Structure 1
């Protein structure tokens, strides 16, 4: 039992002043750059003060503000509520009932690592953003507070009758955070695997994101950044236009190089020294270089597991595991998932065996989609694009050649995808498989199902087919184009399991 006493208002660690100051310093830097430098230039002078003096004055003011913010920040407990008060000119009082707490995670940015403190972040049900953050607590105290809040959440739910069975002391222990000092991680990312993860990221997405960020800053400070180069750009405009055939490949190569480089840097910052812990209590992920983050999901919150890969990761035997936890519908793409890159097949088997041992045994019924799925993909991704490419043949023979090559290649990939789609259902588990180039798998225990829906489109009715959709507290999965009789049989079976199941999905 956690003996942490929060009946009296508590403050953060005194070094929290430094943490708050560096947060405020980012705001000060933006003001300094966007207002002073851009508007007045480097030759600024206020009452005889130069640029350096103005910078020191602004930093001093923000240091005073940071200390006052530290003094005016409290957290405490009243009845079954966790309360935080903060604010200088106006006071904010954030009240979170224990039973509304969704997750309690720990984070450390580079400043917090140097100062030896951690941030505690509390997410609540019904919110897409973090509801509450305490920025600077000693490590041991932060872990105690994390355990305290998780304990209180379960106790409050039990008192309100939200837990179906009485929770024993041993069961409450399983809802605490994992003891990282005595556990060995199931998955780690040595430098070699970390580099492989970076090399196999989605480089196009990374490149477009970098381009958007740079473009935003350039246009925000356009007058200050571009004005000195306007004469040169005007002189070279005609040269650039005349040499676009040479410059375009160079620009593409530069874009690819920057995209890969940024993917590597992003992976290094996010997944450095990654450790993924698994046991009967739940899962815990610890990773990060400049910002060290700890994400924890208790076992009862885990709804289902999903893992996927891409061609490069598939080639080197790596998968990305997604642990789906119960979360509000509008937050399932953000705080509802813990992702673990760099998993290998034997590690995935350990995860499955830990949480869903029935997934590796038992008798399964095998379901396959109707040929309508293949026909639809052939039309949408094969024939229609080929017709469009052929229409571009008026602009050159290369497009006609492209159409001739595209159609057989697309039909080959569509065939491979179709034969990769299947579903396995036992008395305890549902497993979905799909994808050849980008394979993905879902392992969903039936007692986590909240609802199931049977649907039929006009085209499916003509062919006596139906689709089945599975609803959980962590998201929606589905299977299309089953023979109608099989779909109805599966639908009835799953509804029966939902009605008679006495294990709660939470």
Structure 2
């Protein structure tokens, strides 16, 4: 596509580079179906390599023809307040998406698309399990035209209104930068990830592949251990320590590389109507989320990140439950001040500082957690061991070990609020807090069991668009007051909830 403005009211094809993208997708699909046959032909000692080359040639020819037809029959246009995409040369398909229903536009660019100077645009709506529409090859000029017509800052748009719309915000000076992540920030994020689970997986993998190593490599390991110690017990300890060290090195190095690949040169900014996220090293992505469709702001930390004062932040928007995580704008490595800046940009206020008076869960919540996940499993294992004539006395240690988890989960189970917003806290060793506007709540359910009622306790469930948040074992009067106030705001507030 040229750099000039195009007429999106007429059917348009993708950028010419789309043929290369379609060819890659077609070749990948064909190889996924026939790779076992191809592998057999390549490694068959009695077979001829000519047959394998012929097979590859057929795949390439079919993929080229398929890619060309896919490209020629793929068109898109925006007219009458709808984005319409037509595709398919044998099985024809047409998808029409009302512009007012579009939740976000996600712009991505992998390595091939970077070489071709084209972008992939994902169009997401609230009801779709995946991307409603994906345009695999667009020029930056075309994407800006689409952004202007979709106009995520408005709740409604029509073709007649388009002429009165402001031009798209494409110049960086029109976007107010909230924060950027430097290479040092990314290094801190990679080092402070929650590595324990991955380390254990890698640790098990390393010991698993040791048995499958050739005998000469196993002999090399044994000879190396003999140089450190002749005692079997010492050799075992060194063997386990080296395995753990290798697992830690592999895990931390992988986490750092993945952090740089996904979040390199990350910039979070905003315009008067939407939030903009740009990030990525090999695959670049750009996410646009209208303010009116943002549901929650979540910031989390773990013990390592708490020591250096950084948080992982994610911005959630209205979507189906299956798509919620994918459609979030994730920003790792934020400081307290940066989280406050994001809160100010999204909600016009900051609730980073906790008030002295918090609405905490009752201590019964701690007791119930310990009984359910600490004492009960220990009792079951002990009874099973007794019935099998093998008493497992050590199983009761789990009831003691789980007690700190239950205590921290109770300490982090609270919420606080102002007149328009609420922050809900949760987590154990990791601490998670979610902030959202009260008028975004779609419904509130308050439940009181026969055990809660005499103690004046209740559990409240808050229903947002695509997310459910539960407040367990809180004061019953507070739960009913929160329900009434949230429903009052939902009915009286003039701001759109989506």
When the two structures are superposed, what TM-score results if normalisation uses the length of structure 2?
Answer: 0.80
Aligned equivalent of 2:25, options 23, 26, 33: 23
SS of the residue 1:186 aligns to: strand
The corresponding residue for 2:90 is 89
1:81-139, CA deviations, whole angstroms, 9 ceiling, x for partnerless residues? 22222223332222223233222221101000111111111123311111211111111
Residues 364 and 304 of structure 1: CA distance in aligned 2, closer, same or farther (over 3 Å): farther
Residues 479 and 53 of structure 1: CA distance in aligned 2, closer, same or farther (over 3 Å): same
Question: In the aligned structure 1, how far is the partner of 2:138 from the partner of 2:162?
Answer: 30
SS of the residue 1:379 aligns to: helix
Question: In the aligned structure 1, how far is the partner of 2:14 from the partner of 2:162?
Answer: 32
Question: In the aligned structure 1, how far is the partner of 2:15 from the partner of 2:162?
Answer: 34
The corresponding residue for 1:346 is 337
Backbone CA RMSD of aligned residues = 4.3
The corresponding residue for 1:71 is 72
Deviates more, 1:379-388 or 1:140-149: 379-388
> Are the aligned partners of 2:274 and 2:288 in contact in 1 as well (CA < 8 Å)?
yes
Question: In the aligned structure 2, how far is the partner of 1:85 from the partner of 1:501?
Answer: 40
> Are the aligned partners of 1:453 and 1:468 in contact in 2 as well (CA < 8 Å)?
yes
> Are the aligned partners of 1:455 and 1:467 in contact in 2 as well (CA < 8 Å)?
yes
Aligned equivalent of 2:435, options 434, 439, 443: 443
Question: In the aligned structure 2, how far is the partner of 1:109 from the partner of 1:317?
Answer: 33
Deviates more, 1:280-289 or 1:197-206: 197-206
**Structure 1 residue 210, shift from structure 2 partner:** 8.8
> Are the aligned partners of 2:38 and 2:55 in contact in 1 as well (CA < 8 Å)?
no
Question: In the aligned structure 1, how far is the partner of 2:385 from the partner of 2:374?
Answer: 17
Question: In the aligned structure 1, how far is the partner of 2:354 from the partner of 2:289?
Answer: 27
**Structure 1 residue 345, shift from structure 2 partner:** 0.7
**Structure 1 residue 173, shift from structure 2 partner:** 5.2
Aligned equivalent of 1:500, options 459, 484, 492: 492
> Are the aligned partners of 2:153 and 2:291 in contact in 1 as well (CA < 8 Å)?
no
Question: In the aligned structure 1, how far is the partner of 2:319 from the partner of 2:97?
Answer: 16
The corresponding residue for 1:225 is none
Which sections of structure 1, spanning at least 5 residues, go unmatched? 160-165, 219-228
Aligned equivalent of 2:256, options 249, 258, 264: 264
> Are the aligned partners of 1:119 and 1:142 in contact in 2 as well (CA < 8 Å)?
no
Which sections of structure 2, spanning at least 5 residues, go unmatched? 223-231
**Structure 1 residue 487, shift from structure 2 partner:** 2.3
SS of the residue 1:25 aligns to: helix
Question: In the aligned structure 2, how far is the partner of 1:365 from the partner of 1:315?
Answer: 25
SS of the residue 2:315 aligns to: strand
**Structure 1 residue 370, shift from structure 2 partner:** 1.4
Question: In the aligned structure 1, how far is the partner of 2:277 from the partner of 2:198?
Answer: 23
> Are the aligned partners of 1:359 and 1:429 in contact in 2 as well (CA < 8 Å)?
no
Residues 12 and 211 of structure 1: CA distance in aligned 2, closer, same or farther (over 3 Å): farther
When the two structures are superposed, what TM-score results if normalisation uses the length of structure 1?
Answer: 0.79
Q: Write out aligned runs for 1:439-478 (5 A).
A: 439-478=431-470
> Are the aligned partners of 1:4 and 1:148 in contact in 2 as well (CA < 8 Å)?
no
The corresponding residue for 2:367 is 375
**Structure 1 residue 480, shift from structure 2 partner:** 1.3
Question: In the aligned structure 2, how far is the partner of 1:209 from the partner of 1:492?
Answer: 47
Question: In the aligned structure 2, how far is the partner of 1:14 from the partner of 1:157?
Answer: 29
Q: Write out aligned runs for 1:96-495 (5 A).
A: 96-150=97-151, 154-156=155-157, 179-180=171-172, 183=175, 185-203=177-195, 257-335=249-327, 337-360=328-351, 366-385=358-377, 387=379, 403=396, 410-435=402-427, 437-495=429-487
Question: In the aligned structure 2, how far is the partner of 1:32 from the partner of 1:89?
Answer: 22
**Structure 1 residue 212, shift from structure 2 partner:** 13
Deviates more, 1:300-309 or 1:17-26: 17-26
> Are the aligned partners of 2:354 and 2:416 in contact in 1 as well (CA < 8 Å)?
no
1:266-307, CA deviations, whole angstroms, 9 ceiling, x for partnerless residues? 323222222221353222111122211111101111122111
The corresponding residue for 1:14 is 16
Question: In the aligned structure 1, how far is the partner of 2:354 from the partner of 2:281?
Answer: 42
Residues 133 and 419 of structure 1: CA distance in aligned 2, closer, same or farther (over 3 Å): closer
Paired residues in the alignment total: 474
Deviates more, 1:140-149 or 1:201-210: 201-210
SS of the residue 1:485 aligns to: helix
The corresponding residue for 2:227 is none
Question: In the aligned structure 2, how far is the partner of 1:83 from the partner of 1:167?
Answer: 17
**Structure 1 residue 455, shift from structure 2 partner:** 0.9
Residues 150 and 492 of structure 1: CA distance in aligned 2, closer, same or farther (over 3 Å): same
Residues 318 and 151 of structure 1: CA distance in aligned 2, closer, same or farther (over 3 Å): closer
Question: In the aligned structure 2, how far is the partner of 1:32 from the partner of 1:426?
Answer: 60
Residues 230 and 121 of structure 1: CA distance in aligned 2, closer, same or farther (over 3 Å): same
Residues 85 and 427 of structure 1: CA distance in aligned 2, closer, same or farther (over 3 Å): same
The corresponding residue for 1:223 is none
> Are the aligned partners of 2:103 and 2:152 in contact in 1 as well (CA < 8 Å)?
no
